[in-house]
Amino acid sequence: MTNRDREHELDRKLKDENEEWTRRRFMQTSAAALAGGAAARLVAPTTASAQQVDMAPGSPAKAGSLPVVVSSANGLKSRDANGLSAVEKAMAMLRDKADPLDAVIAGVNIVEDDPKDHSVGFGGLPNEDGVVELDSCCMHGPTHKAGGVAAIRNIRNPSKVARLVLQRTDHVLLVGEGALRFAKAHGFAEEELLTDAAREIWLRWKESHSDHDDWLSPKEAGLEKGSARGRIPFERTWGTINCCAVDAKADVAGVTTTSGLAFKIPGRVGDSPIIGAGLYVDNAVGAAGSTGRGEANLQNCASFLIVEFMRMGKSPQEACLETLKRIAEHTEPRLRDKSGRPEFGLTFYAVAKDGRYGSASMWSGAQYAVHDGTKARLEECAYLYKKQTGSP
């Protein structure tokens, strides 16, 4: 066989291989399209009442301004001694060229220190034994390092301890007694985190959550007139603050901190200290975090999924909505209402490294905080389901 014959034979093989690859790719794409159509039909009831997103999927997205800070709504409620909220504090530090991780942690410290916020830090609602257990994690985009603590007691600012786990250990997560010992080794002082107000709420829960125990409310004990023994409705609290930021150099960081589900089983850990669930950061893409039902988030690695959706070209808001759809699909029957919709609340917050930001909640009516360099403000979250008039 001559060299020319060999070249013709090689060209033929390459052509055949290319045609085979094209055929397979066509089959895969067609199968994916069919599966996507089936999935769309599957979740049609779930998405029928979803709010329209700002941009159609796949359309070019306009970049935002830098730096930018986003957080859950309580990032604009608590104030420090200088009158700054969490998003304002973080923005001020970014303008002073602080590292974005230091900025967001300083921001959430304001909420951790606020005894009136019963979902985070000092004054947080306790577990069922009346003990405050805190969770937190943080992640630094430029180094892709992360740190977290879970079920830590007696330490007011778990976000600071999480940063030390990131900086001073080869680990990502410390829990319980080990996390407390690590914090004390670095000079953190133990203190009682259960405030009088939080204790009163816990005692009211103990007295009212069951009519088959020996705990009596003041009314039931005869201290107040006109009361009969019986179960009193009591809404459990899911509370957290997530805060993510992009600095002027487009470096990204985030933090999430919480006292977790009120009156939880001691030792329960939600999504907040888990990288990929309560928070995820990729410096090439952006960051995402959450508040709400941690178990649903954990079962779907939702913050990681949001960042991956952004990597695929979705806007932050679109990515949050797509992730909520995924969670709605996976929700077990006992957690659905009569219409098949998840009964729990869950909200995501996301920011892209070009300054775009967005948020979406399972149900309408939620807000989130943002500071885009102009002013700090609350914005409405996109949502998957619209609350009906008179619904809780």
User: Which regions of the chain are under pLDDT 50?
Assistant: 3, 6-7, 10, 13-15, 17-61, 223, 225-234, 392
Is the alpha carbon torsion for 113, 158, 378, 84 positive or negative? Answer: positive
240 catalytic? Reply is yes
Whole-number Å distance between alpha carbons of 158 and 106: 12
- pLDDT value at residue 22: 41
Q: HSE-up of 1 (CA within 13 Å, CB side)?
A: 8
d(CA 107, CA 95): 14
The pLDDT, as a whole number, for residue 316 is: 98
Residues 6+ apart with CB under 8 A from 370: 68, 69, 70, 71, 87, 357, 376, 377, 378, 379
Q: How many CB atoms lie within 10 A of CB 362?
A: 24
SS3 category, 78 = coil
Q: What strands lie across the sheet with 346-352, from one edge to the other?
A: 279-282, 286-292, 346-352, 357-363, 382-385
Q: How far apart are CA 258 and CA 193, in angstroms?
A: 13
* Inter-residue contact 265 to 127 (CB < 8 Å): yes
SS (H, E, C) 241-259: EEEEEECCCCCEEEEEEEC
Which DSSP category does 354 fall into?
T
Nearest partner of 132 among 203, 199, 207, 208, judged by Cα: 199
Q: What is the phi/psi pair of residue 95, to 5°?
A: -65, -30
The domain segmentation of the chain, as residue ranges, is 68-194+237-385
Residue 60's pLDDT is what? 39
N residues, the chain: 392
Q: Which fold has domain 68-194+237-385?
A: Glutamine Phosphoribosylpyrophosphate, subunit 1, domain 1 (3.60.20)
**CA nearest neighbour of 96 among 59, 61, 122, 67:** 67
Residue-level pLDDT at 386:
94
Are the beta carbons of 162 and 273 closer than 8 angstroms?
yes
Tokens 């020319």 correspond to: 4
Per-residue pLDDT reduced to its tens digit, 246-298: 999 999 999 999 999 999 999 999 999 999 999 999 999 999 999 999 999 99
- 169 neighbors 159 (Cβ within 8 angstroms): no
350-171-165-174 Cα dihedral, nearest 10 degrees: 90
Catalytic position from the list 240, 256, 291, 323: 240
pLDDT tens readout for residues 6-49: 445 545 544 454 444 344 443 443 444 444 433 333 333 333 33
Tell me the one-letter amino acid at 200.
E
pLDDT of residue 216: 64
